[in-house]
Amino acid sequence: MTLAAAIMIFVSLVLAAFAAVTLWWTMHAWRTPETLAGTRFAPPDGEQHLTFSLLLPARHEKAVLEHTVERLLRSTHEAFEIIIIVGHDDPETTEVAHRVAATAPARILVVTDHNEQKNKPRALNTALPYVRGDVVGVFDAEDQVHPLLLEHVDHAFRATGADVVQGGVQLINFHSSWYSLHNCLEYFFWFRSRLHLHAKKGFIPLGGNTVFVRSDVLREANGWDGTCLAEDCDLGVRLSSRGKKVVVAYDSTIVTREETPGSVGALLKQRTRWHQGFLQVLRKGEWRRLPNWRSRMLARYTLTSPFLQAFSGVVIPVGVAIAIWAQLPVLVALFTFLPVLPMAATLMFQIVGLHDFGREYELRIRWHHYAKLVLGAFPYALVLSTAALRAVWREYTGRRNWELTAHVGAHLPAVEGAAA
């Protein structure tokens, strides 16, 4: 009994510490008004010096591709080209790609990826030899890119001397389902806050799109890792380890808007892929080359945290249930409630975050959205932990193929409606 109690107390303390650290970092941007001001994108100076090559891998994306390219073409920047990458086995998307390319032949190039095994990093690597711009930008086929974004990025590169600029990405269709609400908020906290901390501490897992890298730096790093399921995270880790300068800039008016996966199953697949990718990056060990101990610890912590988070999201409620029903000694039972503190505080901040999210994106948040947020917290944690378990299982049984997330364009009317 004493041993069981000691284990309970120990596990509770570890979980509480983990949850507290995660919360501390997640709230980075809002620590003081000064830190919040420091995360904003600077207004551009109106000058344009850089040339951009925007890579747009599209695989079975005929529903959204055209719209995405149209929006990219509306960009206010003068010097950019769009390279659409399609698969040789995907005639429908290829057809759409050629059709939109014909509308702006000087701007758009269609490249065909002949790799037998298709995935995003291989598609991006296929396009790299065709790149002519100073800076490579990556977008996904379903992205809603703001016309002013390139001007901002141009200015950011010049003003900071950065090698990499990570812009903001935001899932916007929070109203679609209970999980999309949580998914949107995850993005909000990640891009609005957490990523800035990573940039500051010198270890940053980059996002999958709206990421801009100087072409020479990218070529020097041999492009993307075609075998990695989280090529974006991997690139960030490799560039961080080489001491490249990464800056993060966020402005709600020019973030790239995206949609959440269309079903819980799709979310599960996507999350499995990310988690497995994180695991691969961890095993590759590039992060060991980071210059100091602190950023190595941050790297280790960040790459393992999806698993810890998944684990604690399930174990904490179970521990509390045990504490209430199993007649533990009162003191031990009180200890099992310790991790609930940061967990409940996280939920409290998510409520505030949802309010802020609505304000920044001029979306109407109703009371039932808050209710969904609270009620959906535990089921969402279940989905994440299932994905984490799946990821571990797949990685150790050698199943490393790419499970694609399908897009139907649920964010498009939402965005149009919000913009109106």
Segment 200-219, which members bind another protein (CB under 8 A)? 200, 202, 204
Which of 4, 7, 17, 341 contacts another protein by CB under 8 A?
Answer: 341
Which of 5, 30, 284, 308 contacts another protein by CB under 8 A?
Answer: 30
CA proximity to 233, closest of 277, 197, 265:
277
Binding segment for another protein (CB under 8 A), chosen from 88-96, 143-151, 168-176, 193-201, is 193-201
Which of 344, 389, 392, 418 contacts another protein by CB under 8 A?
Answer: 344
| Nearest residue (CB) to another protein, 109 versus 340 | 340
Does residue 363 interact with another protein by CB under 8 A? no
Other beta carbons less than 10 A from residue 327's beta carbon: 9
Other beta carbons less than 10 A from residue 226's beta carbon: 16
Q: How far apart are CA 186 and CA 258, in angstroms?
A: 13
Q: How far apart are CA 140 and CA 256, in angstroms?
A: 10
Does residue 326 interact with another protein by CB under 8 A? no
| Nearest residue (CB) to another protein, 196 versus 407 | 196
Q: How far is the CB of 285 from another protein (least distance, A)?
A: 20
| Nearest residue (CB) to another protein, 39 versus 276 | 39
Catalogue the E-assigned strands of 220-260: 246-248, 256-258
Does residue 199 interact with another protein by CB under 8 A? yes
Q: Which helix (H) or strand (E) holds 342?
A: helix 340-360
- What residue type is 29 in one-letter code? A
Q: How far apart are CA 284 and CA 240, in angstroms?
A: 14
Binding segment for another protein (CB under 8 A), chosen from 27-35, 67-75, 280-288, 307-315, is 27-35
Q: How far apart are CA 334 and CA 311, in angstroms?
A: 20
For the range 180-188, what are the long-range contacts, defined as Cβ-Cβ under 8 Å and sequence gap of 24 or more? 180/260, 181/354, 181/369, 181/372, 181/373, 181/376, 182/373, 182/376, 182/377, 182/380, 183/260, 183/261, 183/267, 184/260, 184/357, 185/350, 185/353, 185/354, 185/357, 185/373, 187/258, 188/353, 188/356, 188/357
Q: How far apart are CA 89 and CA 329, in angstroms?
A: 64
Binding segment for another protein (CB under 8 A), chosen from 58-66, 211-219, 240-248, 376-384, is 240-248
Segment 57-116, which members bind another protein (CB under 8 A)? none
Q: What CA–CA distances, in Å, run from 95 to 25, 62, 91, 120?
A: 45, 9, 6, 19
Kindly state the number of chain residues that form the binding site for another protein, as judged by CB under 8 A. 50
Binding segment for another protein (CB under 8 A), chosen from 53-61, 103-111, 211-219, 344-352, is 344-352
Catalogue the E-assigned strands of 78-180: 80-87, 108-113, 135-138, 164-166, 169-171
Q: How far apart are CA 92 and CA 21, in angstroms?
A: 47
Does residue 351 interact with another protein by CB under 8 A? yes
Does residue 324 interact with another protein by CB under 8 A? yes
Segment 252-311, which members bind another protein (CB under 8 A)? none
Map residues 5-24 to x or -, x wherever contact with another protein holds by CB under 8 A: -------------------x
Q: How far is the CB of 203 from another protein (least distance, A)?
A: 9
Which of 247, 383, 410, 412 contacts another protein by CB under 8 A?
Answer: 247
Q: How far is the CB of 40 from another protein (least distance, A)?
A: 5
Which of 13, 17, 42, 321 contacts another protein by CB under 8 A?
Answer: 42
Q: Residue numbers of the site for another protein (CB under 8 A)?
A: 24, 27, 30-34, 36-43, 155-156, 159-160, 162, 165, 196, 199-200, 202, 204, 240, 243-249, 323-324, 330, 333-334, 337, 340-341, 344-345, 348-349, 351-352, 355-356
